[in-house]
Structure 1
Amino acid sequence: MENASLAGRLYARLEALAVALQPLVALAVRLYVFRVFFWSGMLKLRDWGSTLYLFTSEYHVPVLPPAVAAVMGAGGELIFPILLLLGWRGRFAAAGLFVVNLVAVISYPGLEPVMIKDHVLWAVLIAYLFFHGTGRWSLDALLNRPRPAKLREGRA
């Protein structure tokens, strides 16, 4: 019986540690995803001629004309990561980046297996943010926290 009690206490401590570290882990995931996608978008902007060439000849985005796909791809890689980094409208940003990531995989038939693994990793991290939220250290959490009754009623 004593071993079961010890195991229960250890599990409770592990659970408390995981809960305490959740905001830090969510922030780390947001920083990593931001870095990957934002710098990819910046690279597209730095050499727009090359970007248009790639979207015309290498990337085959379904339905969209290459110039529109290039603008949408670069825009998505710049805007959604900033929203995620701030943790503002995090689920919307995560859904947008998930689509950007998926379109990248679909549109570029020359992806090597190692590159596909990167996209799978990014998809999993983005899905984590979508389903679990951006964490307590985010604008979403700050803006959505309960306010005291006096502030809600307009009294100071």
Structure 2
Amino acid sequence: MAKLIKKATRLVSGKFPEAIALLFARVALAGIFWRSARTKVEDGSLLTMKDLTVDLFRDEYGMPFPEITGLIATYAEHFFPILLILGLATRFGAAGLLVMTLVIQFFVYPDAWWSVHIIWVALALVLITRGGGLFSIDKLLGGKLG
């Protein structure tokens, strides 16, 4: 039985299974923020921020300078997920989303740690510590960016 467990552990601990896991982590974290980003822009536009976004940042989130913070968040929620999907500067993209998550946690939705944010933090930390994996542009570049 111990030999079987050891063999199964070796099978799922290789470079290919890790690459699949890191790809899924990149897509999962990117998808969360990309979907949020797309709710902040006008339908049919790439980055034209909705007026409603400024209202959201001012009234619901209580952020200072909602025109600026809304724009920065909207652009970041588009930019960092693209990096993650491509596996380009993966650690940088994941770190950016980690910072955004922590801002959301501490300043916007402090009661959402156990329900949501701990998962986002875990995904970001895995990507920061392990990088984009085998299926990433970072890997093609020899790990110079990610």
TM band (smaller chain): 0.7 to 0.9
Aligned to 2:61, the other structure's residue is in SS state: coil
1:126 to 120, 124, 127: 124
Deviation at 1:112, TM superposition (A): 4.7
Match of 2:17, as an amino acid?
L
Secondary structure in 1 aligned to 2:133?
coil
For residue 66 of structure 1, report the CA deviation from its aligned partner. Answer: 1.4
**Which residue of 137, 140, 153 maps to 2:138?**
140
Tell me the equivalent position of 1:94: 94
Displacement after TM superposition at 1:107 (Å):
2.5
CA contact (8 A) 2:105 2:111 kept: no
Which AA in structure 1 matches 2:140? L
How far has the Cα of 1:138 moved from its partner?
A: 0.3
Cα displacement (A) at 1:7: 2.5
**Pairwise CA RMSD:** 2.0
Counterpart Cα distance in 2 of 1:72 and 1:9: 51
Which consecutive residues of structure 2, in runs of 5 or more, have no partner in the other structure? 43-48
Distance 2:114 2:104 in 1: 10
Cα distance in structure 2, aligned partners of 1:53 and 1:130: 33
Q: For this pair of structures, how many residues does the alignment match?
A: 136
Shifted more, 46-55 versus 80-89: the winner is 46-55
Q: Does 1:83 align with 2:87?
A: no
Distance, in Å, in 2 between the alignment partners of 1:10 and 1:105 is 39
**How far is the alpha carbon of 1:118 from its aligned partner?**
1.0
String of CA shifts for 1:21-44, please: whole Å, max 9, x gaps: 111111111111111101101111
**Aligned with 1:45: secondary structure?**
coil
When the two structures are superposed, what TM-score results if normalisation uses the length of structure 2? 0.83
* Letter aligned with residue 84 of structure 2: L
Q: What is the DSSP-based 3-state SS (H/G/I as helix, E as strand, rest coil) of the residue aligned with 2:135?
A: coil
Is the Cα–Cα contact under 8 Å of residues 105 and 116 in structure 1 kept in the other structure? no
Q: Where in structure 2 are the equivalents of 1:4-43 lying within 5 Å?
A: 7-8=2-3, 10-19=5-14, 20-43=16-39
Structure 1 residue 83 displacement after superposition: 0.1
Amino acid at match of 2:90: G
Shift >3 Å, 4+ stretches: none
Give a deviation string over 1:105-125, Cα, whole Å, max 9, x none: 22215x554x75211111111
* Residue in structure 2 matched with residue 60 of structure 1 by the alignment: 62
- Which is higher, the Rg of structure 1 or of structure 2? 1
